[in-house]
């Protein structure tokens, strides 16, 4: 069964450093998303992406965040200058079409900022 994959599973970085989290969405999916979950808190929406554009973003997704689909398979989330409060699980998700209510999540990348 096709699934969303994410790398790395765990990333440790120093405050102020840039990190890139990588995702490979399900191959025939066209909509891509990033969510995060701070330990013990809710899963929160960050951004959705379609046709090489951001289609929706939350207040959390400020100028230090960016997303990119550098090739036909990968989808990345970049955090330019990490802060301690960026420590969280970051989940990538994908769905087939617009308005599709079935978003499939990857296993997540645990980001630890020291």
- Could you give the C-alpha distances from 40 to 11, 15, 23, 32, in angstroms and in order? 19, 22, 23, 25
Site for another protein in 82-101 (CB under 8 A): 89, 91, 99, 101
Read off φ and ψ for residue 106, nearest 5 degrees.
Answer: -85, 180
Q: Which two tokens stand for residue 82?
A: 């990490």
Q: Are strands 10-13 and 109-113 parallel, antiparallel or unpaired?
A: parallel
24 contacts another protein (rule: CB under 8 A): no
Question: Of 25, 82, 106, 111, which one interacts with another protein (CB under 8 A)?
Answer: 106
**Given the rule CB under 8 A, which of 12-20, 44-52, 70-78, 80-88 is the region that contacts another protein?**
44-52
42 contacts another protein (rule: CB under 8 A): yes
**Residues making contact with another protein (CB under 8 A):** 4, 31, 33, 35, 41-45, 48, 55-56, 58, 89, 91, 99, 101-108, 110
């Amino acid at each position: 069964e096709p699934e969303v994959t994410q790398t790395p599973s765990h990333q440790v970085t120093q405050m102020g450093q840039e990190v890139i989290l990588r995702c490979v969405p399900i191959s025939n999916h066209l909509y891509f998303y990033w969510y995060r979950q701070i330990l013990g808190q809710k899963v929160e929406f960050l951004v959705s992406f379609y046709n090489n554009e951001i289609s929706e973003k939350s207040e959390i997704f400020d100028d230090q965040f960016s997303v990119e689909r550098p090739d036909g398979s990968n989808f990345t989330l970049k955090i330019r200058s990490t802060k301690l409060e960026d420590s969280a699980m970051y989940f990538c998700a994908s769905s087939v079409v617009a308005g599709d209510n079935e978003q499939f999540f990857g296993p997540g990348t645990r980001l630890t900022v020291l």
